[in-house]
Amino acid sequence: MDLWRARDLVFGAGDRVRTWGRLVTGPDGDWLDVARVHDLIIRPPGWKSDRSIRLIGAEAVPTDVAPNGIRGHLSVVGIWRDESIEVEAQRQERLPRESHPEWRDPLCPPPHGGWRHHVRDLDVDIDFGDLESSGAIVHRVIFRPSPDHEVLVVAATDVDAMKRQLSKHFPDQLCVVPSPFTCAQLDELRDVLRANWRDWRLESFGTGSDAQAQPFIMAQPIQVTAEMAAWADTLPDGLLRLRPAISPV
> 196-242 pLDDT, tens per residue?
999 999 999 999 999 999 999 999 999 999 999 999 999 999 999 99
Tens digits of residue pLDDT in 53-75: 999 999 877 655 444 434 578 99
pLDDT of 99 reads: 73
At 117 the pLDDT is 79
- Give the confidence band of 45 by pLDDT, cuts at 50, 70, 90: confident
pLDDT of residue 124: 57
> Which residue would you say has higher pLDDT here, 147 or 40?
147
Please state, in angstroms and rounded to a whole number, the distance separating the CA atoms of residues 72 and 65: 8
Report pLDDT for 122.
Answer: 60
Report pLDDT digits (tens) over 122-138: 655 577 888 888 899 99
Residue bearing the bigger pLDDT, 101 or 72? 101
Confidence (pTM):
0.85
**pLDDT score recorded for residue 241:** 96
Domains of the chain (ranges; CATH) run 6-92 (2.40.50)
pLDDT of res. 248: 97
- Helix H, strand E, coil C: the string for the chain is CCCCCHHHHCCCCCCEEEEEEEEEEECCEEEEECCCCCCCCCCCCCCCCCCEEEEECCCCCCCCCCCCCCCCEEEEEEEECCCEEEEEEEEECCCCCCCCCCCCCCCCCCCCCCCCCCCCCCCCCCCHHHHHHCCCEEEEEEECCCCCCCEEEEEECCHHHHHHHHCCCCCCCEEEEECCCCHHHHHHHHHHHHHCCCCCCEEEEEEEECCCCCEEEEEEECCCCHHHHHHHCCCCCCCEEECCCCEEC
Arithmetic mean of pLDDT, 68-90:
86
Mean pLDDT across the stretch 149-175? Answer: 93
Residue 219 near residue 9 (C-beta atoms within 8 A): no
Contacts of 1 (CB under 8 A, 6+ apart): 232, 233, 235, 237, 240, 241, 242
Average pLDDT rounded to a whole number, residues 27-36: 92
Higher confidence at residue 95 or residue 3?
A: 95
